[in-house]
Protein backbone atom coordinates (compact mmCIF):
# COMPACT_ATOMS: atom_id res chain seq x y z
CA UNK A 1 0.00 0.00 0.00
CA UNK A 2 1.36 3.41 -0.99
CA UNK A 3 2.18 5.98 1.68
CA UNK A 4 -0.13 9.00 1.59
CA UNK A 5 2.08 12.09 1.52
CA UNK A 6 -0.29 14.99 0.84
CA UNK A 7 -4.04 15.10 1.42
CA UNK A 8 -6.09 18.20 0.67
CA UNK A 9 -9.83 18.23 1.43
CA UNK A 10 -12.27 21.03 0.52
CA UNK A 11 -9.50 23.60 0.85
CA UNK A 12 -10.40 27.27 0.57
CA UNK A 13 -7.69 29.90 0.91
CA UNK A 14 -7.02 33.54 0.15
CA UNK A 15 -4.39 36.23 0.39
CA UNK A 16 -4.11 39.63 2.07
CA UNK A 17 -6.20 41.36 4.69
CA UNK A 18 -9.44 40.76 2.79
CA UNK A 19 -8.66 37.02 2.57
CA UNK A 20 -10.47 36.94 -0.78
CA UNK A 21 -10.76 33.29 -1.70
CA UNK A 22 -8.54 32.21 -4.58
CA UNK A 23 -8.62 28.49 -3.81
CA UNK A 24 -12.26 27.41 -3.66
CA UNK A 25 -12.87 23.87 -2.48
CA UNK A 26 -9.77 22.05 -3.72
CA UNK A 27 -9.44 18.28 -3.25
CA UNK A 28 -6.19 16.47 -4.03
CA UNK A 29 -4.36 13.41 -2.75
CA UNK A 30 -0.71 12.70 -3.59
CA UNK A 31 0.76 9.33 -2.68
CA UNK A 32 4.43 8.42 -2.49
CA UNK A 33 5.99 7.82 -5.88
CA UNK A 34 3.42 9.83 -7.83
CA UNK A 35 3.97 12.75 -10.19
CA UNK A 36 1.08 15.21 -10.51
CA UNK A 37 0.93 18.03 -13.04
CA UNK A 38 -1.33 21.04 -12.48
CA UNK A 39 -2.24 22.99 -15.61
CA UNK A 40 -4.53 25.99 -15.92
CA UNK A 41 -4.93 29.50 -17.33
CA UNK A 42 -3.13 32.54 -15.94
CA UNK A 43 -4.72 33.81 -12.74
CA UNK A 44 -6.32 30.48 -11.87
CA UNK A 45 -4.52 30.29 -8.51
CA UNK A 46 -1.88 27.69 -9.30
CA UNK A 47 0.96 29.60 -7.64
CA UNK A 48 -1.36 30.42 -4.74
CA UNK A 49 -1.66 26.68 -4.13
CA UNK A 50 2.13 26.34 -3.88
CA UNK A 51 2.33 29.31 -1.48
CA UNK A 52 -0.45 27.99 0.75
CA UNK A 53 1.19 24.57 0.98
CA UNK A 54 4.58 26.03 1.88
CA UNK A 55 3.24 28.64 4.30
CA UNK A 56 4.06 31.92 2.59
CA UNK A 57 3.01 34.84 4.85
CA UNK A 58 -0.32 36.54 4.08
CA UNK A 59 -1.77 33.39 2.48
CA UNK A 60 -4.57 32.23 4.76
CA UNK A 61 -6.59 29.00 4.86
CA UNK A 62 -10.24 29.94 5.42
CA UNK A 63 -11.67 26.41 5.51
CA UNK A 64 -10.85 22.82 4.67
CA UNK A 65 -7.80 20.73 5.53
CA UNK A 66 -4.32 20.05 4.22
CA UNK A 67 -2.21 17.31 5.76
CA UNK A 68 1.33 16.22 4.95
CA UNK A 69 2.60 12.95 6.40
CA UNK A 70 -0.41 13.07 8.70
CA UNK A 71 0.37 16.52 10.10
CA UNK A 72 -1.89 19.55 9.77
CA UNK A 73 0.09 21.99 7.62
CA UNK A 74 -1.99 24.97 8.71
CA UNK A 75 -0.50 24.64 12.19
CA UNK A 76 3.11 24.57 11.02
CA UNK A 77 5.50 27.43 10.28
CA UNK A 78 7.19 27.53 6.83
CA UNK A 79 10.48 26.27 8.25
CA UNK A 80 8.69 23.35 9.92
CA UNK A 81 7.05 22.39 6.63
CA UNK A 82 10.45 22.52 4.94
CA UNK A 83 11.96 20.39 7.68
CA UNK A 84 9.20 17.81 7.18
CA UNK A 85 10.26 17.56 3.55
CA UNK A 86 8.32 20.06 1.43
CA UNK A 87 10.38 21.86 -1.21
CA UNK A 88 9.32 24.71 -3.49
CA UNK A 89 11.05 25.68 -6.72
CA UNK A 90 9.70 29.18 -7.24
CA UNK A 91 8.59 30.64 -10.55
CA UNK A 92 10.82 33.66 -9.95
CA UNK A 93 13.58 32.77 -7.43
CA UNK A 94 14.46 35.76 -5.26
CA UNK A 95 17.88 37.39 -5.06
CA UNK A 96 19.55 37.50 -1.64
CA UNK A 97 22.45 39.98 -1.66
CA UNK A 98 25.18 39.37 0.90
CA UNK A 99 24.63 35.60 1.20
CA UNK A 100 26.72 33.28 -0.95
CA UNK A 101 25.03 30.36 -2.63
CA UNK A 102 27.24 27.70 -1.08
CA UNK A 103 26.79 29.11 2.45
CA UNK A 104 23.04 29.22 1.97
CA UNK A 105 22.93 25.60 0.81
CA UNK A 106 25.27 24.49 3.62
CA UNK A 107 23.07 26.01 6.32
CA UNK A 108 19.89 24.64 4.73
CA UNK A 109 21.33 21.15 4.43
CA UNK A 110 22.64 21.08 7.99
CA UNK A 111 19.33 22.42 9.31
CA UNK A 112 17.61 19.46 7.67
CA UNK A 113 20.17 17.08 9.16
CA UNK A 114 19.64 18.51 12.66
CA UNK A 115 15.88 18.01 12.30
CA UNK A 116 16.52 14.36 11.38
CA UNK A 117 18.97 13.94 14.31
CA UNK A 118 21.86 13.45 11.91
CA UNK A 119 25.34 14.93 12.47
CA UNK A 120 26.08 18.13 10.60
CA UNK A 121 28.47 18.00 7.67
CA UNK A 122 31.83 19.65 8.24
CA UNK A 123 33.24 22.02 5.61
CA UNK A 124 35.24 19.35 3.76
CA UNK A 125 32.34 16.88 3.66
CA UNK A 126 29.92 19.55 2.47
CA UNK A 127 32.19 20.91 -0.27
CA UNK A 128 32.85 17.42 -1.63
CA UNK A 129 29.09 16.72 -1.77
CA UNK A 130 28.27 20.15 -3.23
CA UNK A 131 30.89 20.07 -5.99
CA UNK A 132 29.89 16.60 -7.12
CA UNK A 133 26.23 17.61 -7.35
CA UNK A 134 27.02 20.95 -9.01
CA UNK A 135 28.97 19.20 -11.75
CA UNK A 136 25.85 17.18 -12.62
CA UNK A 137 23.94 20.40 -13.35
CA UNK A 138 26.69 22.35 -15.12
CA UNK A 139 27.08 24.74 -12.18
CA UNK A 140 30.57 26.19 -11.85
CA UNK A 141 32.55 26.76 -8.66
CA UNK A 142 32.40 30.48 -9.44
CA UNK A 143 28.58 30.40 -9.45
CA UNK A 144 28.54 28.72 -6.05
CA UNK A 145 30.60 31.57 -4.58
CA UNK A 146 28.27 34.26 -5.93
CA UNK A 147 25.42 35.82 -3.96
CA UNK A 148 22.19 33.86 -4.24
CA UNK A 149 20.63 34.45 -7.68
CA UNK A 150 22.25 37.91 -7.98
CA UNK A 151 23.01 38.45 -11.66
CA UNK A 152 21.96 34.90 -12.55
CA UNK A 153 20.12 34.22 -15.80
CA UNK A 154 16.73 32.52 -15.65
CA UNK A 155 18.28 29.19 -16.56
CA UNK A 156 21.01 29.53 -13.94
CA UNK A 157 18.42 30.25 -11.24
CA UNK A 158 16.41 27.16 -12.16
CA UNK A 159 19.49 24.93 -12.28
CA UNK A 160 20.49 26.23 -8.87
CA UNK A 161 17.09 25.27 -7.45
CA UNK A 162 17.37 21.77 -8.90
CA UNK A 163 20.80 21.52 -7.25
CA UNK A 164 19.11 22.31 -3.93
CA UNK A 165 16.45 19.68 -4.67
CA UNK A 166 19.17 17.10 -5.28
CA UNK A 167 20.99 17.89 -2.04
CA UNK A 168 18.02 18.41 0.30
CA UNK A 169 16.16 15.29 -0.89
CA UNK A 170 12.61 16.40 0.08
CA UNK A 171 9.63 14.08 0.30
CA UNK A 172 7.45 16.41 -1.80
CA UNK A 173 8.80 18.80 -4.42
CA UNK A 174 6.59 21.54 -5.83
CA UNK A 175 7.89 22.99 -9.10
CA UNK A 176 6.13 26.26 -9.93
CA UNK A 177 6.72 26.81 -13.66
CA UNK A 178 10.25 25.45 -13.44
CA UNK A 179 10.36 25.43 -17.24
CA UNK A 180 9.65 29.15 -17.59
CA UNK A 181 12.29 30.92 -19.72
CA UNK A 182 14.51 27.86 -20.15
CA UNK A 183 16.30 27.02 -23.37
CA UNK A 184 16.45 23.44 -24.65
CA UNK A 185 19.71 22.54 -22.88
CA UNK A 186 18.66 24.04 -19.53
CA UNK A 187 15.32 22.26 -19.74
CA UNK A 188 17.08 18.92 -20.23
CA UNK A 189 19.30 19.56 -17.21
CA UNK A 190 16.29 20.42 -15.04
CA UNK A 191 14.38 17.34 -16.21
CA UNK A 192 17.42 15.15 -15.64
CA UNK A 193 17.84 16.45 -12.10
CA UNK A 194 14.17 15.91 -11.27
CA UNK A 195 14.18 12.38 -12.69
CA UNK A 196 17.34 11.48 -10.77
CA UNK A 197 15.78 12.69 -7.52
CA UNK A 198 12.34 11.12 -7.99
CA UNK A 199 11.72 7.61 -6.63
CA UNK A 200 8.96 5.48 -5.10
CA UNK A 201 9.31 7.22 -1.72
CA UNK A 202 8.86 10.84 -2.79
CA UNK A 203 6.41 12.79 -4.93
CA UNK A 204 6.32 15.68 -7.35
CA UNK A 205 3.75 18.40 -7.99
CA UNK A 206 4.48 20.29 -11.23
CA UNK A 207 2.72 23.56 -12.03
CA UNK A 208 3.17 24.36 -15.70
CA UNK A 209 1.65 25.78 -18.89
CA UNK A 210 3.73 23.73 -21.30
CA UNK A 211 4.32 20.13 -22.30
CA UNK A 212 8.08 20.25 -22.91
CA UNK A 213 8.98 19.44 -19.31
CA UNK A 214 6.09 16.99 -18.86
CA UNK A 215 7.23 14.97 -21.86
CA UNK A 216 10.56 14.41 -20.15
CA UNK A 217 9.29 13.88 -16.60
CA UNK A 218 6.10 11.96 -17.53
CA UNK A 219 3.40 12.66 -14.90
CA UNK A 220 1.05 9.98 -13.59
CA UNK A 221 -1.80 12.48 -13.28
CA UNK A 222 -2.65 15.73 -15.06
CA UNK A 223 -5.14 18.10 -13.41
CA UNK A 224 -6.94 20.99 -15.06
CA UNK A 225 -7.09 23.74 -12.45
CA UNK A 226 -9.29 26.81 -12.84
CA UNK A 227 -11.53 28.97 -10.68
CA UNK A 228 -9.70 27.75 -7.58
CA UNK A 229 -10.44 24.06 -8.01
CA UNK A 230 -9.61 20.97 -10.06
CA UNK A 231 -12.05 20.63 -12.94
CA UNK A 232 -10.78 17.41 -14.49
CA UNK A 233 -8.08 14.80 -13.91
CA UNK A 234 -6.51 12.54 -16.51
CA UNK A 235 -3.17 11.29 -17.76
CA UNK A 236 -0.66 12.73 -20.21
CA UNK A 237 -3.25 12.57 -22.99
CA UNK A 238 -5.19 15.32 -21.18
CA UNK A 239 -2.16 17.60 -21.38
CA UNK A 240 -1.82 16.81 -25.08
CA UNK A 241 -5.47 17.74 -25.54
CA UNK A 242 -4.94 21.07 -23.80
CA UNK A 243 -2.07 21.93 -26.10
CA UNK A 244 -4.38 21.53 -29.08
CA UNK A 245 -7.64 23.00 -27.81
CA UNK A 246 -6.74 25.17 -24.80
CA UNK A 247 -8.90 25.77 -21.73
CA UNK A 248 -11.92 27.37 -23.41
CA UNK A 249 -14.35 24.48 -22.98
CA UNK A 250 -13.42 23.97 -19.33
CA UNK A 251 -13.63 27.67 -18.47
CA UNK A 252 -17.08 27.97 -20.06
CA UNK A 253 -18.29 25.18 -17.80
CA UNK A 254 -17.49 27.15 -14.62
CA UNK A 255 -18.80 30.52 -15.78
pTM: 0.92
Residues 140-183 have pLDDT tens digits of 999 999 999 999 988 888 889 999 999 999 999 999 988 877 88
The superfamily (CATH) of domain 4-97+171-254 is P-loop containing nucleotide triphosphate hydrolases (3.40.50.300)
**pLDDT tens per residue, range 25-77:** 999 999 999 999 999 888 888 889 999 999 999 898 999 999 999 999 999 99
In this prediction, residue 253 carries a pLDDT of: 59
pLDDT at 18: 61
- The CA distance from 253 to 231, in Å, is 9
Instruction: For residue 180, give every residue at least 6 positions away whose Cβ sits within 8 Å of its Cβ, in sequence order, or none.
Output: 91, 154, 158
Burial 158-183 (b: 16+ CB within 10 A, else e): bbbbbbbbbbbebbbbbbbbbbeebe
Amino acid sequence: MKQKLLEIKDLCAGVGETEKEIIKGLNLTVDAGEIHAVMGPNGAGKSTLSYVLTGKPDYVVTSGKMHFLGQDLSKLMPEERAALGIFLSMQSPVEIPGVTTQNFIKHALNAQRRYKNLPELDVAEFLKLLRAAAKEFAISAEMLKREINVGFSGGEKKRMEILQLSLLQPKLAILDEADSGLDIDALKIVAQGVNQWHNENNSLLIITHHLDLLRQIKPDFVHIYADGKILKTGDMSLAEELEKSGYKNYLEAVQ
